[in-house]
Amino acid sequence: MDAKGYGAADDRRQAAMQRGLADMLRASAAEVGLRRDEWVCQPGGDGELAILPADEGMVTVLDAYVRVLADRLQEYNDDRIENARLRLRMAVHMGVAAPAANGYSGAGVVVVSRLVGCAAARAAQAAAPEASLVVVLSNSIFQNLVAQRHTRLGPKLFRRIQVEVKEYRDEAWLYVPGHDVHALDLTTPPAGPPTGSTPSAPKPAPTPKPPPAREQAPAREPANRPGPPPARFQQTNVFEDQVTADVIGIKQEYFSG
């Protein structure tokens, strides 16, 4: 997933944004007592995938880490011009993650990668340009922790969204600290040329189709010769040291102006 405008920044600014992001995440975790030095973090330049120990408190993540991170981001952005601000999308899920050849794999990793880049989260950032943090919870996290009131974040602070990215289809829950998420316009504008643009040239007439080819009788199969088995798709994931853990995906949204 790309952060909007991040690739258009020069090398020096990208490096500064990465340093700011790393410092922000580290300081926020330390302030609320989370053991970030025990997290397995897979950085991605403009974001990171973090796998937390099983005994790290998810309630602390939702109640304290989210609040402190949002506050620190706001303080960081207050004195900066628009194209130097840090704006993050954060997705939280609990699922399976396992070491793989190029990092970590598993259902938990797939879920956070889909949630953190979903259309509704991006639309929320566009609808609330002053918001520094957008949070997306998986349906299981919301139902087990927020809906059951194990956190200080009330269910009414969240907005139900439908996430459909590639093969992933599920409900999720959107939260924008400091903003009424239910008042945000999350509709995606239709694709097309901007208003006032030069009309496109008329489409050429369709090329006439050639006459259909003559059908030929199929060749005879030898007697008693079995046909091929029906096609089947099978995918097998073999994991070593599989763990069930809290998984957090964070992405920076960088606007170039």
- Return the percentage of the chain with pLDDT > 90, whole number: 45
Residue 39 CB neighbours (<10 A) = 20
What are phi and psi for residue 175, nearest 5 degrees? -140, 130
Residue 29 to residues 23, 132, 136, Cα–Cα distance (Å):
10, 17, 18
| Average pLDDT over every residue of 49-68 | 93
Q: Which residue has the higher pLDDT, 160 or 232?
A: 160
210 pLDDT more than 60: no
| CB neighbour list of residue 117: distance below 8 Å, 6 or more residues apart | 1, 89, 165, 251
SS3 73: helix
User: Mind listing the domains of the chain with CATH numbers?
Assistant: 6-187+240-253 (3.30.70.1230)
Tell me the whole-structure pTM to 2 decimals: 0.74
Confidence of residue 15 (pLDDT cuts 50, 70, 90): confident
The residue that leads in pLDDT, 42 or 118, is 118
Q: Which two tokens stand for residue 9?
A: 């920044």
Query: What pLDDT digit, counting tens, does each position of 85-95 carry?
Result: 888 999 999 98
